[in-house]
Every structure is written in structure tokens, then in C-alpha cells.
Structure 1
């Protein structure tokens, strides 16, 4: 299959010093933001509404002066959509190699998965340079807890209840939707298909690594063609252009087909898969 990638995104940076020189936005972000990591909260943490979370940021030491300037709390809803809750902290906290801020989870926070977006500002000649935005792992929030005499803690919500705590979201697999092809569409063999990805700016998905076509008829779904393998950074609007050519030995006119999209997560070592709506193919 013939395949191409087109990505679109909007970036804005204001530089107050001529000292900043880079060939591209990507180069700038790499220069100022590589080596930063939000190490707590952990995905194994369980916090209760109204309790305090410890947000820890680490960095690889270099010549750039960095300051933590804000904490934003986000939730992940049942559909995998990031939801901004509020800015829970704003200030100036100097970051050498490690810094921790104690931050209260709002008292009215509902049960579910949450994470922090941390704003780290680079100072250039005493002035505001580019910001780095890093996210924590998702962590569980329960509305209440009780610890018995034996020291065992129970929570108002079962920590295994996937209606509150979906494991794939804890891996950073949320905030990406395959908008096209849509469910129920009909495509033609040899036609050009636009596979449209919509990525939320607060998603933890990171880079496209593989695109495959699957067939669903009877029994398990079958992978019928791999159309691309590589690594391409995901923008918030992303289009993959494919010339649809299902090999004749894998073409079934009564079947439905869908694209499977594999991506990496910003969570180290994790990968995610998303799929388009199921569509028919005519010869």
C-alpha cells in the first residue's frame, strides 16, 4: 500500500532573549525539556478527596535555570477523555535536580483516575523562556477510606472497579480518537483513504509506530496487511493517507475492516492501540 503522513499542529513560543537559537520547535523543546520527569504521584498511589498529593519533579542537571510555576489537575473520564479540573498551585519553586510540592486534592473530587500537568519555566538571562509541560502517572482517587484496627485500609470505591479505574488509562492510553474512517462507511479497493487522528493536547500518547488493516468476519479478527512501521511524533491533528489495496487472498466482500493504530505512551515502556470505525470494502 502507498502511505504518507501529514501532521498539523499549532505551536507558540515567545522568546525574550536573542540567546535562544534552534532550527525548529522540536530542537528547542529537546534542548530545554529533555531530562525532566514527574516521578510522583505513582500509578499505584491511592488518594482520598481532600488529602494531599506529593508532586515530585526531577531533572538532569545542565546550565539552564528552571522553576516550577504551576500544577494543573486533570481527570480521565470513562471514555478516555482528559478533563481539566483546576489549577491547584501557582508560584515559583526552584528546581535544581529534584523538587517536591505538597498539593491538596480538592475536597469535592469525584472517584476516578487523575494526573498532574506540571509547568516548568526556563529562565534565560533572568527572563521567561520556553515552558516545559510534563505529566505525572495517573493515580486513583477515592471519595473516602477507613482503616481498621489491624491496619487494613478500605476505600469507598473498589480499586478493581473498571468503571472508575480502567487499566489502559493508567498506561497513558487515552485522549486519542480515530475520527475517520467512521463506523459504517464504505470504501473502494485502490481508493485513497484519509485516516484522521484527533489527539487531545493533554493526552499521554506520544508517537505513531504502526498502522495495520484488520478484517472482522467470523472468529477472531485477522490482520490482513501492515501498511506502515516506523516512529512519527503525534501532533494534535494528524492525518494518515493510505491507498487501500487489500491482497486478494485476504479480501472478503462480506467482511468489515478497520485500521489498527499503534502508538507509544509518554509513560515509559508502555504502548497503546486504537482503532477506526468498521467499514465495508467494495471491489
Structure 2
């Protein structure tokens, strides 16, 4: 029996879709019910050699062990950096497991700083699971006045997981034409805790008073946060092109994996 090209492509697409559904179901079956409960948001640790990590699960018949903890440092500019794996082992996870991690086991760990853990949970009969912690802080062992001040001045936005997303278009100071399509391009780092994009809003700034006001909602929805996301704006609002003395910027609304609302802003630009 001969298959048409259309039928063959349809069969391949269907098989891929079924496989993706099966993979998603397997991950849900083996990773559902897992939660990384410690460190908590913004939690401070005075001893970098004793940072507590707690994982909980809903008990079932699937055997699980924690076998690795990776660490990322988040700089004051919101850029995450992978440092290494300060903890490796085999720790049985029944309903709850608490580990003590020495973050100084990773080379060149910056202290004090804000960090995120990635915890690996191994299933004996299924796919491995990865859990991301909330952002926490670790001091240096010196506890100097300078270190204490740095700890106190660390970004609360980063504490909430609002980092590693950037509006890369429009460019700083760009001059855009009214009633033309403008791409609002959003870039997301693979280590970002942002899970979904939920809206893009255009604002206007009076350059003489520095007061700003909302112009329009460009897009509202719920988009899984990929590494790149693009929204088109027609720049056709009332008064577009008559904005001498004004600058504009976009605000991107988003949600983290820990259900924190985050906002990111473009550079200012002009509409002519």
C-alpha cells in the first residue's frame, strides 16, 4: 500500500505529538508532588558552609534520591552565572529530606551574593527531575561592615526571581515611525525563573515633567517563556507621531515558577 506524502507527514507529526504527550505524562508521574521548600525567598545564611536545602514530596511507590545540587550566582545586574556542583551524593527522599550544602566547594564563589540552587532528584525507574530554589543570600565568613551593607542592599527584585529577562528591541533612543509595525523582542536567559509572559504595555513619558502615563495594552495573554519572544505593535494609537517632547517605553509583565509577578522595561525610544 502506498502512502501519500501528506499522509506520511501527518503520521510523523502524530507520532511526535504522542511521544511528547507520553514524555510529559512520564515527567508528571515521576516529578509531580516534588517541592523545594528551603531556602525560602530572600533567606540569609551567615555561614557559607552550612546552607540548608529541603525537598519534600508526596509519598508513593516510586523510589527517589537526591543526587546533586548545582549553584548559580546572580549578580547585581541580574545576570546568573553557573558556578558548579557543591554537593553530590545519594540521599533518600521519602517524604522530606534536608541537606547541608557547603557553597565554598565551588571554585571562585562570590561572597556575599545572591544565589539559586538547582536540585537533581533521581528516579530509579523513570526520568530525573530538576527543582529550582527561590533566590537566597549567603554572607562571607568575615562578616565585615562592608559585607553586612552589601547583604542589606541586595536587590529585592532579584530576591523575588525577577531577573535574566531583557527587552532587546526597540533599541535605546530608537526613532520609530508611527503607524508601522514594531517588533517588541524579549530575550530570556535559560537560567531565568520566569515561567510565563503575560502582557506588554506601552507607556509615554513627558520629557519636561518626567511624568509617565499608560498609552495602550499592546498584548495580553499567557505565553510559556522561551528564550526569545516577540510581540508586534502597530504604533497606531491616537496621537501617534505627534509626540514631540515625549519618549516611550514598553513594560513586560511576567510570572515566575514560584508565582511572583515581575515587570521588565525596555529602553526609552521615540515615535515620529
TM range (shorter): 0.7 to 0.9
Deviates more, 1:247-256 or 1:217-226: 247-256
The answer for unaligned runs of 5 or more in structure 1 is 1-19, 147-153
Q: Map of 1:1-283 to 2, 5 A cutoff? A: 22-23=20-21, 29-48=27-46, 50-106=48-104, 109=109, 110-124=111-125, 129-144=126-141, 156-158=147-149, 161-162=152-153, 165-217=154-206, 218-248=209-239, 252-268=243-259, 270-282=260-272
1:130 aligns to what SS in structure 2? coil
Instruction: Report the structure, 1 or 2, having the larger helix content.
Output: 2
TM-score (norm 2): 0.81
Distance in 1, Cα, partners of 2:184 & 2:133: 30
Query: Contact conserved, 2:113 with 2:151, CA < 8 A, in 1?
Result: no
Distance in 1, Cα, partners of 2:129 & 2:71: 16
Distance in 2, Cα, partners of 1:36 & 1:274: 29
Query: Contact conserved, 1:192 with 1:241, CA < 8 A, in 2?
Result: yes
TM-align CA RMSD: 2.7
2:101 aligns to what SS in structure 1? strand
Deviation, 1:252, is 1.9
Instruction: Report the structure, 1 or 2, having the larger strand content.
Output: 1
- CA distances 1:187-228 after superposition (whole Å, capped 9, x unpaired): 222212222111111111111111100111134211110122
1:264 aligns to what SS in structure 2? strand
- CA distances 1:64-111 after superposition (whole Å, capped 9, x unpaired): 443322101111101101111111122332322221211112076411
1:117 aligns to what SS in structure 2? strand
Query: Contact conserved, 1:197 with 1:238, CA < 8 A, in 2?
Result: yes
Larger RCO (alpha carbons 8 Å, 6+ apart): 1
Deviates more, 1:207-216 or 1:238-247: 238-247
1:106 aligns to what SS in structure 2? helix
Q: How many residues align?
A: 250
**Structure 1 residues 263, 255: CA separation in 2 closer, same or farther (over 3 Å shift)?**
same
1:8 aligned residue: none
Distance in 2, Cα, partners of 1:188 & 1:64: 59
TM-score (norm 1): 0.78
**Structure 1 residues 170, 182: CA separation in 2 closer, same or farther (over 3 Å shift)?**
same
1:149 aligned residue: none
Query: Contact conserved, 2:39 with 2:136, CA < 8 A, in 1?
Result: yes
